[in-house]
Structure formats: structure tokens, C-alpha cells
Structure 1
Amino acid sequence: MTTFPVHTMESAPERSKPALQQLQSAFGMIPNIAGAISTSPILINSLVGLFGNVHGGSFTEAQVQIVLLTDAVTNASAWAVAFHTTLALKEGIDPADVQAIREGRLPKDDKYAALSALAKTMIEKRGRLSDQDVDHFLAAGFGKDHLLEVIAAVAASTITNYTGSITKPTLEAPFQAHAWQG
């Protein structure tokens, strides 16, 4: 079995260090997934660029977590499901809505349900949304700009989800309570 390093600030490639510093500032730690991603400066820098735009975009942080948790479940990324479960609960999302997403169901909250459904459908259909998919999302009160912004969130989560599936980083203690097996 191929193993991948989980880099620290000291062991990471030089061109990965600024990105890791940004993530450490955002989370107060370097998540293991980021340490693994930093093996490739190209990938970690791509992620951090998307990360900054997604988390600084027009969605609330809770809405971002709905999309990222849905993506993690849809892509069956155990590390990311635990991580985004922790962050979603920290953002005050109803635990029942978080559990629904973890189980592949839609949240009760209408806006969260529209976001979750769009993210899941976008991944499952590889971006080939039907007019009905688009209309359902827009009818929930979101704009066309929001629909396109979800693409950026899906792209960012795809980086972490795929990397997690390939590198299998250890789940850190703060996220253990939300460990997930798809």
C-alpha cells in the first residue's frame, strides 16, 4: 500500500508553506488533509485560493458548510464528513439537519435543502443540471450567481474529498466524535 506524508510546516515543500500558514490561521491548526495535500504545492495552492473565495463569498458560513458536508457525503470522503460535521455544528446548524445530510437525506430547512440538493445533484450529474434542478434552486430564493458559486465550493471540496480518499489521513482527535463510514 502506498502511504502519503502528512506534512507539517517544517516538512512541507517550500512552495506549500504559505498555503499551510493561511490554513493554520483559519483553523488554528493544519488539518491532516492539508498536510497531505501539501505534498503537491500546485494542489495546496489551488485549494487555498478556492477556499478563500468560497469562505469569503456570498453564502453564510453555515450555508457553505451545508454544501461542503453534502459534497463530502456524496463523494464518500470519511475524513471530510467528520471535519465538516464538526464545522456545521459549530456554525449552529440544527443537529437533525446535519444528521440528515450524513445519512444522504435533505435537511428540513428549505434553503439548506435546496443547497444540499443542488450540491449532490451537481456531483452526481457531473454538472449536467436539468432546467428543473436549476429552477428548484432558484425558487428557494437563491440567485444565478449563487448557483455558479456552488461550483466553486464543489471544486474546493473535490480537492479535499479526492485527496482524502487517496491519501487516507488520520482523523484528528477534535473530529473523532463525528467519524463516519459511508
Structure 2
Amino acid sequence: MAEFTVYDETDAPEQARPHLEAAKKRMGFVTTLNGVMAESPELLAGYNTLSELFGRSSLPRDAKHVVWITASVLNGCEYCVAAHSTLALRQRVPAGVVDALRAGHALDDPALEAARRFTGAMVTRRGWVDDEEIEAFLDAGYTRRHVLDIVLGIGMKTLSNYTNHIAHTPLDPAWKEQEWTAPGPDLT
């Protein structure tokens, strides 16, 4: 197994240190994900920039959490499911919503379910969704901008999910309570 170093703001490559310091200010600690990404300062900068941009996107707050968790579940990223479950619960996303997302189950809220279904279709079909799926998402009250915001969120999760797969990123203690195990290698 290839071993990846988990850096912090004191021992990371010089170009990565400002990004780790900013992450520490934002989160209160340097996540092991950011520590692994620091090996490539460009990946770290790209991920953190996408994260910031998606956070500012036009999607409603709870729909953003739906995108993060749904993409991570479908990609089998144990680290990201635990992290985003914790963050969703801290932002008062209902526990029933988080539990359903982690299990890949339908949501009772029609708007959030539309976001879950559309995100799931985008991830499993690698963006090749048909017009009917886009229309169903729009009919749930979303806009074309929201369609593209979901593309941004999935892009962000692809960077972190794939990094965690190859690096076997250790779970941060902050996410431990929401630890999650992928059901298997074929999640589609």
C-alpha cells in the first residue's frame, strides 16, 4: 500500500502551509484530509477553493449537505460521509435526514429528495442525466443555476473522495461519532 504523509501547518511543503493555517482557523484544527492533500499544494488549494465556492453557491444549506453526503456515500468515501454527517448535524440538519442519506434511502422532504435523486443520478451516470431528470429537479423548485451548483459540489467531493481512497486517510477524532462503513466496492 502506498503511504501518504499527513502534514500539518508546521511540516507541510511551504506552498501548502498558508492553506493549512487557513483551514485550521476555519475548522479549529487541520483535518487529516487537508494534511494528506498538502503533499500537492495545488490540490489542497483547489479543494479548499471549491469548498468555499460551493458553500457560497445558491443551493439552500440543507441541499448542500445532501449533495456532500450523497456523493460521498455513492463514492464509498468513509472519511467524507463521517465528516459531512458531523457537520450536517452541527448545522441542525435533522438527524433523520442524515441517517437516511447515509443509508441511501429516500427523504421525506420533497425538495431534499429531489436534490438527493439528482445528485445520485449525476454521480452514478457521470453527468449523463437525461432531460426528464433535469426537469424533475427543476419541477421541485430548483433552478438551472442549482443544477450547475450541484456539478460544483460533486467536483469538490470527487477531489476529496478519491484522495481518501488512495491515501486511506485516517479519520479525525472530530468525525468519530459519525463513523461510517461503505457497504461494498460496487455502490452503483
Structure-1-length-normalised TM-score: 0.96
Task: Give how far 1:177 is off.
Answer: 1.1
Hey, what's the Cα distance between the residues in 2 that align with 1:65 and 1:150? 11
Per-residue CA deviation, residues 94-135 of structure 1 (Å, 9 max, x unaligned), is 111111111111221111111111111101000011111101
Partner of 1:7 in structure 2?
A: 7
Partner of 1:132 in structure 2?
A: 132
- AA aligned opposite 1:6: V
Aligned pairs, number = 182
* Structure 2 unaligned spans of 5+: 183-188
Q: Percent same amino acid at aligned positions?
A: 27
CA contact (8 A) 1:67 1:116 kept: yes
SS of residue paired to 2:62:
helix
Partner of 1:165 in structure 2?
A: 165
Q: Which moved more, 1:169-178 or 1:74-83?
A: 169-178
CA contact (8 A) 1:98 1:107 kept: no
Task: Give how far 1:59 is off.
Answer: 2.1
Question: Structure 1 stretches (4+) deviating beyond 3 angstroms?
Answer: none
Task: Give how far 1:166 is off.
Answer: 0.8
Q: Does 1:117 align with 2:117?
A: yes
Q: Which moved more, 1:91-100 or 1:125-134?
A: 91-100
Hey, what's the Cα distance between the residues in 1 that align with 2:165 and 2:80? 10
Task: Give how far 1:160 is off.
Answer: 0.6
Partner of 1:59 in structure 2?
A: 59
CA contact (8 A) 1:88 1:98 kept: yes
Task: Give how far 1:5 is off.
Answer: 0.6
- AA aligned opposite 1:73: V
Partner of 1:38 in structure 2?
A: 38
Partner of 2:147 in structure 1?
A: 147
Hey, what's the Cα distance between the residues in 2 that align with 1:155 and 1:24? 23
Hey, what's the Cα distance between the residues in 1 that align with 2:41 and 2:76? 25
